Structure 1
Amino acid sequence: MLISSILDKTNDFHVKVIPIDSIDSAYFSENLTFEERGGNFKYRESSIFHPLSCDHPLCIPKICQQEICHYDVSYPESGTRGWFAHDTFIFSSGTKTSERFPAVFGCGFDDRNISFGDETPNNVTAEIMGLGYGPRSILNQLRQYTGLRFAYCLPSWKEPNRTYTYICFGNNAIFRGDLLSRVQSTRMMLRRSALYYVNMLGISIEGRRLNINPAVFQLNPNGTDGFGMDSGSPQTYLATSTYVTLREEMV
């Protein structure tokens, strides 16, 4: 079964969407309204699936109901709620075999305004693949294999032929050979949050550096401020002083 997945580098856990007609009231008793029309995770068919208990170290923060660890994530115009669980993930390898790894992930029972692709009422999104740096991320849970490294080049879902590519992890995500001379790179600044930060030095237009104090981009020791990368956001958010300087140069 082919399913659609949203790649989110600001979220540090994987969310599988569960349609409302499959909710087990013993685990989740609220009156929910989300309807999902694509492929979905049939958790009742798994013999080792189990909700995550509140005393598990990956129950962060500890939002608990009936001794089950819940989560609640909000985006600007959408969001997802549900509970954490653990099961075995199966990944295909390059040798046409499968690798199995136990992992903690989210089961999204209340997913609001999450659409995908052609933006029709037929919402076919089946999961949010969280690749943030936080402790619940698949990158961290399977860090022995991922090396906290991933690379991807995803085509637009609006392409008429709907081409497909791969997400590479670990050693497969390292640039080698001729690519090293053609790719610009910068070191990520990692903190305890799920976000990835870069050491932003300034903004240039047509080769001229704007008069912006570099300190406005710096990540503080307590984890505040800084210049975070979010490939899922269509907008760039700047400090007021930086925005004013940039606008005066462009308008």
Structure 2
Amino acid sequence: MASSHLRLLVLSCSLFFISLGSTEHNFVVVPTSSFASEPACSTVSHVTSEPRRASMPLVHRHGPCAPTGSYAVKPSLAERLRRDRARRNRIMSKVSGRMSTTLSDASVSIPTALGDAVGTLEYVVTLSIGTPAVEQTMLIDTGSDLSWIQCNPCSSSECYPQKDPLFDPSKSSTYNTISCDSDACKQLIGDHYGAGCTNGASDASLCQYGIKYGSGETTVGLYSTETLTLKQGVTVPDFSFGCGLHQHGEFDKFDGLLGLGGASESLVSQTSHTYGGAFSYCLPPGNGTSGFLTLGAPSNNTGFVFTPMHQFPGVSTFYMVTLTGISVGGKKLDIPPAVFSNGMIIDSGTIITGLPATAYSALRSEFRNAMSAYPLLPPTNNGLDTCYNFAGHSNVTVPKVSLTFNGGATIDLDVPSGVLIDDCLAFVGGNSDNTIGIIGNVNQRTFEVLYDTGRGNVGFRSGAC
């Protein structure tokens, strides 16, 4: 009898620990000390050495790993989120067709329907342009197509202070302007990046580009070609880009922008004959570490999960996926599939993920339940309504948040970097369910996110940086 009771006790304890282990598997204990900003750069190279891919380091523009050159002080969370809302609103305007006509600036017409918010862009890569090659630090953006840098001649009243010396086209043997009657200029105009032609003394007028971003910045200059050096020994000849001569707005010391969108002007499209229209990046978990940007698909898909990619009709810039479910702490949320039917744009430049109203309500409710041990702060005007006071806690237990996509691909967001931002849940809700969502860069941290336009899918590989 005693041995029977003992066996029953052991079995009960075993079941208890199995249950406890299953529960703990869906939660992560995080030291609150890890929420503090990194005091120094602890970069480790994650750049691939695959010969058919071109890979380069990627870092946060306001972190200690940023290239030496004294970037401006990191904006407050409230300011970053204000700019983020401007970007989301502009993206929604572009996909819904609510676009203005033109704005007169620097004596040219600039389409106001283009560009998002430069101020939200947080990750930079260092490339080189020209012959001899001149180093430039550029923001990356999957929500933009046309790449541009500032060029001489450009006075202090027309250009903003930047990290590196201005690129001087007159000192490069491979620089060329693009004429206004060329097919390339006609394509630029057709994609709404054109800004008319120069009226110089020469017989051939030159093609001008112009972009007005969602938060008010404008960049105008000559549409040109040049040799772009991705890394030592890897170049893109005759790369089409904007040579900026008139910049206005709150730009922040970076040297230019690298467009990774889906339209013909982007780096991805211009190198599709070499890299198959594929690229990937890994955004690091914190500002004190590095990630990477890579052109080309990996030689094998080990570690990736894939979901079909599609584009919004008439807007080739954005990459879209279909979300089918969300889980919190291992519990799948009761969200009708129709809520996600409009799709989700996956974007490197948006910070906070925006969900349809019903989906966000379910996520917020379950996340708050799972975090009920910690004081919930009152809502603020920064748009985030699920923020916590972790004072007095040396550790915090955070539930895993999982996203499931069309085709069954499921990813567990990194905890805490992919779930929390400044102790707040890194999601917001839309005003209705009849909206397109946006997967922001916080949720993407530590994943290699592979955009493979040739195969028509998006892949995710966890723990890549």
- Superposed, 1:178-217 pairs within 5 Å as 180=302, 182-191=303-312, 192-217=315-340
**Unaligned regions of 5+ residues in structure 2, if any?**
1-133, 199-204, 369-465
User: Which of 161, 173, 177 matches 1:35?
Assistant: 161
Q: Deviations over 1:196-243 (max 9, x none)?
A: 111211222122222223223234xxxxxx200112222111223332
Structure 1 residues 128 and 52, CA gap change in structure 2 (3 angstroms): farther
Cα deviation, residue 57, structure 1: 1.6
The letter for the 2-side match of 1:143 is S
User: Which of 298, 301, 304 matches 1:174?
Assistant: 298
TM-score w.r.t. the length of structure 2 is 0.41
- Superposed, 1:86-165 pairs within 5 Å as 86-91=224-229, 97-108=233-244, 109-110=246-247, 112-115=249-252, 123=253, 125-153=254-282, 155=284, 158-159=287-288
Larger helix fraction of residues: 2
Task: Report if aligned partners of 1:85, 1:107 keep a CA contact under 8 Å in 2.
Answer: yes
**Equivalence for 1:120:** none
Task: Report if aligned partners of 2:145, 2:317 keep a CA contact under 8 Å in 1.
Answer: yes
User: Which of 64, 68, 74 matches 2:213?
Assistant: 74
Task: Report if aligned partners of 2:147, 2:267 keep a CA contact under 8 Å in 1.
Answer: yes
User: Which of 178, 187, 205 matches 1:57?
Assistant: 187
User: Which of 361, 368, 373 matches 1:244?
Assistant: 361
Task: Report if aligned partners of 1:52, 1:84 keep a CA contact under 8 Å in 2.
Answer: no
**Equivalence for 1:28:** none
Structure 1 residues 247 and 166, CA gap change in structure 2 (3 angstroms): closer
Rg larger in structure: 2
* 2-structure distance, mates of 1:202, 1:157: 27
**Equivalence for 2:147:** 14
* 1-structure distance, mates of 2:230, 2:344: 35
Task: Report if aligned partners of 1:58, 1:136 keep a CA contact under 8 Å in 2.
Answer: yes
- 1:201 alignment partner, SS class: strand
**Unaligned regions of 5+ residues in structure 1, if any?**
25-30, 116-122, 220-225
TM-score w.r.t. the length of structure 1 is 0.72
* 1-structure distance, mates of 2:163, 2:326: 44
- 1:89 alignment partner, SS class: strand
Structure 1 residues 45 and 233, CA gap change in structure 2 (3 angstroms): same
Task: Report if aligned partners of 1:51, 1:83 keep a CA contact under 8 Å in 2.
Answer: no
Task: Report if aligned partners of 1:3, 1:126 keep a CA contact under 8 Å in 2.
Answer: yes
* 2-structure distance, mates of 1:33, 1:39: 12
Q: How many residue pairs end up in the alignment?
A: 218
* 2-structure distance, mates of 1:149, 1:23: 35
The percent of aligned pairs where both chains have the same amino acid is: 22
Task: Report if aligned partners of 1:17, 1:111 keep a CA contact under 8 Å in 2.
Answer: no
- 1:56 alignment partner, SS class: helix
* 2-structure distance, mates of 1:209, 1:129: 38
Q: Deviations over 1:20-39 (max 9, x none)?
A: x7239xxxxxx636232424
Task: Report if aligned partners of 1:52, 1:69 keep a CA contact under 8 Å in 2.
Answer: no
